[in-house]
A = this chain, B = another copy of it.
Amino acid sequence: MTSPNEQRRAAVVGTGLIGGSIGLALRARGWHVSGIDADPARAALAHQLGALDAVGDDPGAEIIFVATPVSAVAAAARRALRLPSRGLPSRGLPSRGLLGGGRVVTDVGGVKGRIVAEVDDPFFVGGHPMAGSEQEGVEGADATLFDGATWVLTPTAATDPSAYARLRGVVSSLGADVVALEPQRHDALVAVVSHVPHLAAATLMGLAADGAEEHAAMLRLAAGGFRDMTRVAAGHPGIWPDICAENSSAIVAALDRLMGGLAEVRDTVAGGDRAGLLGRLERARSARRSLPVRLVRPEELSEVRLAVPDRPAVIAEVTTLLGEMAVNVEDLEIAHSAEGDRGVMVLVVDARAADQVRIALAAKGYRPSVQPLVAR
């Protein structure tokens, strides 16, 4: 049996659905997880349900996940960064990277711009696991919630490379696909693929429900497609006022574009423009069918190595560049040289994208080398 001192230690602030799921997932992988919540009863319940080893702060935690509502994240993250730390165990930790070790703090909020700007610390990296559930609270927590999910991380020029690589490794170990994006870019993109679809689903559901007051048969006709489309509307609405307040300009812009698109569809239908309608639906079909799926086969992966100078901005530059290119980064490691002033970044990416990655990195002044991950 591993003694508690040999365990890697993490903490969770906010023990709801996501915080509880992180606790369960980490504990399933051998971590010691402690946690707190603004509501002590909720933390006690998380402990009772096995999502936490202990209730309270842990000075030995090398990573702290802030999983509070969006409006409380910045304050909780700043508190987590200031918590006293007991020397973090060296055993079991990956490379300390270019700038050495230290506690990493991250969050799981659905909007990133303001939070990342407010916290502004090399050891804070904004995060957003794009996984959810119709459940709410720690009772709905699930150790497998992040398996196959996209988990956005938003490193900035100030982010400590080693802290980022370590966080990235932990998040990947939970089964998630990490995508690095600039905070503002994240917010603009999730407005389109998450926030506005959620609001549209709720609006469609409301439309059918209003009709159902008059025609009870309405909802009996709600078949699979409608059920699929409105499923997200069954989720806990409590998080949305915060999200809409924090991301209102991107959401309003995306809603305007959606209404513009619907107005075009309306004119196409009203005008009997069959070819126009078909073309529109065919484009949508083609896009839906090419939604990316996860890569898993090692023989489809390449390793990209590049020497990097010891300056924090590199990690954000390289990872968000690949994030923008939609290149799936399967793994990322920072190996530092003995002298400590330069290091090597190792990226594992989709082999089909390796050449494109090499060219893009070369254009930024790096000199990457590419090789297959496994012999082919």
Contacts and interface: CB of A to CB of B under 8 A. Distances in A.
Contact of A229 (B208, B228, B235): B228
Contacts of A227: 291
Contacts of A207: 192, 196, 254, 257-258, 261
Given A225-B197, A226-B194, A281 B204 contact: no
Given A229-B232, A265-B255, A185 B217 contact: yes
A224 interface: yes
Copies of this chain in the oligomer = 2
A193 B223 contact: yes
A361 interface: no
A285 B233 contact: yes
A254 B265 CA distance: 12
A251 B269 contact: yes
A108 interface: no
Instruction: Give the interface centre of A192, A194, A268 by most chain B CB atoms within 10 Å.
Output: A192
Interface stretch (A58-66, A80-88, A322-330): A322-330
A289 interface: yes
Interface stretch (A39-47, A237-245, A305-313, A365-373): A237-245
Interface string A208-250: 1101100111111111111111111111111011001100100
For A193, A206, A268, which residue has the most chain B Cβ atoms within 10 angstroms?
A193
Nearest to A248: B269
Contacts of A220: 150, 177, 179, 292, 323, 326, 328
Given A233-B285, A278-B241, A130 B223 contact: yes
9 contacts: A197-B225, A200-B262, A201-B225, A202-B280, A206-B283, A207-B257, A229-B231, A233-B281, A237-B282
